[in-house]
Structure 1
Amino acid sequence: MPHSIRPGDVLAGRYRLVDLLTESGGARFWRAHDRVLERHVALHVIDAGDPRAPGLLEAARRSATILDRRILRVLDAETVDGLCYVVNEWGSGTSLDILVASTGPLEPRRAAWLVAEVADSVARAHDAGVTHGRLVPENVLVDRNGEIRVIGFSVDAAMHGLTGFRPSVDTSDLAGLLYCALTGKWAGVSASAVPRAPLEHGEVLRPRQVRAGIPRPLDSLCDAVLHTQANGQPTNRGRELVAVTTAREISAYLDDFVGDPAGLPEALLASIPAPARGDQLVVLPAVPEILARDSGELPAVPHAEPEHPEPEPPPEPEDEPEPEEESEPDDEPEDGGLRTQAGMPIFDDDSDDVSWLQSRATPAPPPPPFEEPPQRPLFAPTPARGEPVRRPRPGGASTNGGVEYWPWADTGTGTGRTTGSGLTPVVDDEPPPGRSWLRLAAAIAAGLLLLVAIVVAYNLGRGKTVLGAEVDDDPTPTPSATPSAEPTLLGGLVADDLDPQGTPEPEENSDDAPLAVDGKVDTTWSTSSYQQQLGPGGLKTGVGLSIDLKGMQTVTSVDVTLVGAPTGISLYLSDAAPTDVEGLQRVASTTAETETVTITLSEPAEGRFLVVWLTALPPDGAEFRGTIAEVAVRGE
């Protein structure tokens, strides 16, 4: 571009450039600030001599005729100072490409509602003879209120040199937007920075082949619009055809799928993480004009003047002074005396008595010495003949009769009347009263035990019982162990499909799940069809049924009737309704080579919910599909 423009420049005396958003072949897309209306605007700028300039102005005129709340309006278009520019309304929010990159693919109803909103605006523009020309995820915005806004209607295509009325491009890009919202991949005809959708034999894979759990109506819509013949009709690829060829038909089809859209804008806005919403405060860069207008010398910052020099006293060791406010005395000492020290009072009157602050000339007298403790003897005194070795602790002056008291005798270790060393006084050995009666009772008890032993031995020697009774010749037969009850068929079972890896919601024909436990082998439940076998390399590791046994049951075996073979089966038991087999107790597993298999548990296991988990499916034509006709559970 011959005219060099940069952030801070003012275009047409009104629009100050803030941020350069994109640049394509000399065409630039800016975020600018309208200095008249004090608001942000979107600004497309190219050189006036560029071949795209006339088409850009014509696209702006066509876009201005479309009045729709979702389309960011054209506010101004002009050629000035050798530059051609178009000013659009500024939209704040999160574009679809950033949304799927930060949060992943959208929930199907939210994705359908978002594209239905865009398709409705595009259909109105097509009715007026105007096309967008470049409906890429970067040009679809979710604003701060959860509403959908369309960026660069006709103008963005003109900036890329794409002109003319091309409704088929918009229709294909609408299907590409739905594909992107569901899978995070771009399948439209316009160029986008979003990763391209995977191909198979030169054709874009259906959304359900890229991501599991996508509803079939949305999958069929993308398949029909993205694979069209030269005459504009959908290519028949052996699947259900959806007759949609215009933006109006796409909008009506998606509206029927969404139904009541109440709450969807709020739910979509809530799914966007805060850092991706673009809520940060916009800080405009400074420009020379503003600096010149506001230029001026800064006021001088007063700095603290140093205090007048004072003679420093000789260095003395002292503690670090605590920070405090300085206070200047009224009169400076002229005799070189010491200043008032921190922590000492300041006296204004010479008559005050400060003698208590001065150190004494004579030291204070020492305290009186402690009295020496009496010397303790090395050995205890020998008691007089007939007296105990240790005397009891004296009870006081009134009871000891003036007998001398030694400190070592007052270190008792027990309570009550004891001696200091813990030894009991020596007393005369007198037999405790009642001991003879205890000895007599023990002798009588021993005699009785001996007599009983003799009687028992005598009775047993005569062939009688312990008590002397005659032995019955016909003894009562000992009850034998009751054989364990035969396994019985459990009834009243309730089945539901278990598809933990189906996203965003399970879709394994849940309506047919009760047919697997209805007692009829001619009614079946089938899985979805898969182009790859289940397992680590497949779309899923397994699918199956969760069977409610209506209470805690002890399961011994399970009879499974299948349609097709071979089929890999694993059995799990759980006390609570399972949402995944991860963490459950696997009680048995096998590969059914025939359509009827009985799986017997190595040990009876207890639980309320039985999971019949299919880990390998039999072939069904070119695909794989599992079918269960009946499940019979036997337990104790």
Structure 2
Amino acid sequence: MRPPAVPSGTLVAERYRLEDALGGEAMPTAADASSTHEPPARPARHRRPDTARRWRAIDEVLARPVVVHLLPAGSASERLLRGARATASVVDPHVVRVLDVLEPAVAWGQPGASFPEGQAPAVVVVEWVEADGLDAVLASGPLADEAAGRLASGVAEALRAVEAAGLPVPALRPADVLLPAEGGTRVRLDAHWAAADPRAHAGGSPTAAQVCGALLYAALTARWPGPEDVGLERAPAADGAAWAPRQVRAGLSPDLDDVACRALGLPPGRRGAPPLRSADEVVAALHTIHAPGLDVPALPAAGPAHAPDRPSRWVRALRLAPAAVLAAGLALLGWQVVDLARSDPPPAPRRAAPPEPSPTPTPVLLRAAGASGFDPLGDGVEGVGSRAVDGDPDTTWDTATYFRRPDLGGLKPGVGLLVDLGTPARVARVVADLAPGADVEVFLFAEEPPAQEPVDEPVAAVTGAGERLTVEVAGSPPARYVLLWLTRLPPAAEDPTNYRGVVREVTVTGWPVAAGASGPPG
């Protein structure tokens, strides 16, 4: 059943104004979700705008774009609503967030909205992500090895969050994985709301490792290793099992080939390592590859230095002989000058030079344990903070886009990026590469700041910052958190009438603080 006609410009729940029809995607029912081999129906390319199920809309409270899903009335809609509410509990920067779930009475209560009795659609509002789907990207060929590894890592992190929320593992397809132009990986769950319904019969779900393995396989080869129709050419198979990625595409990373085979349970990889069973195991396997954008294990500590052998007694005696001869000559010379020494006045006492202060240790790079958007006056989180501390300047933390006014649309006094150093440290310098023109305040916190606008004195406040913001910190107490608080945003690159903050990379240098210590280093 299609939802009733809704014209562009309609205001939903007195907040979300429908702007651009995105077409109608068929949502799977709970019965459909019991089969892991049924892909969601593809979007209808020629559906009339007034019967679209998905709209790009503007949240007029927070002045940001969102996606509005209109769900046809009926029992299927109720299942989808329950599943959408369940997925709203998944909090991870790699997952496209559910922002609002509205029953028909709440969504269409404003005057002027009229539907046939019992036909008013329910509404689900999700985060807007400007990105291409993996299926569309792979139409031009496979990804580079490094990009494929980062994609698989992002999917694994997303599935870890899904499982942590107590939801079944979704049978993700390439169309569910989004690749924003600024970098990173985002996972859509809207095609799997029915399967996430807590009342739905659970069964037949793939493992998180299998989902990661299939998507890594697709990214490496532009082929799909399963029997499902996902819009990609099917991978060649022998005896019912897909060929290994390295058999499909020559020259790809043997390490990534090994991870894909182990995750999918294909014939043993080149090392004969055991299969991967969970998202945690996939993440751990990817992190051992040392691919760019992934964590690199620390180097092992150096062993004890080897003590040199003690020289023999005769060697020590020969070393002392020249010294003994020299001492005798000096004694004879001393007797010859003793009388002259007695006639000279005694020398003035020499004051000992004060000891030189020990040099201050050179600041070291303080590797961030993580970062997140800090939006205490909005919906709590804004942007994907981890992109600003991943070592890749091509990935960025972006604020929402605010319309017409650089002071965050006049909606709130600021929004920030909170960098977690993991352990307390004495900060010496903070360097941020960002879009020029922002007003930025820098704060240090020993503990995670409360969910409110910062009221302490900042260590620095810069008006109209350039592309690189460098803040020297002196005499600050140990801190674990560094907050970049943006109070005025620069024009957005694609539309100077709107405003958005962008931080490409943040680095912090200083001195780690041992447990219980609070004084200066050295």
Bin of the TM-score, shorter chain as denominator length: 0.3 to 0.5
TM-score for both structures, normalised by structure 2: 0.44
Structure of higher RCO (CA pairs closer than 8 Å, 6+ residues apart): 2
TM-score for both structures, normalised by structure 1: 0.37
Bigger Rg, structure 1 or 2: 1
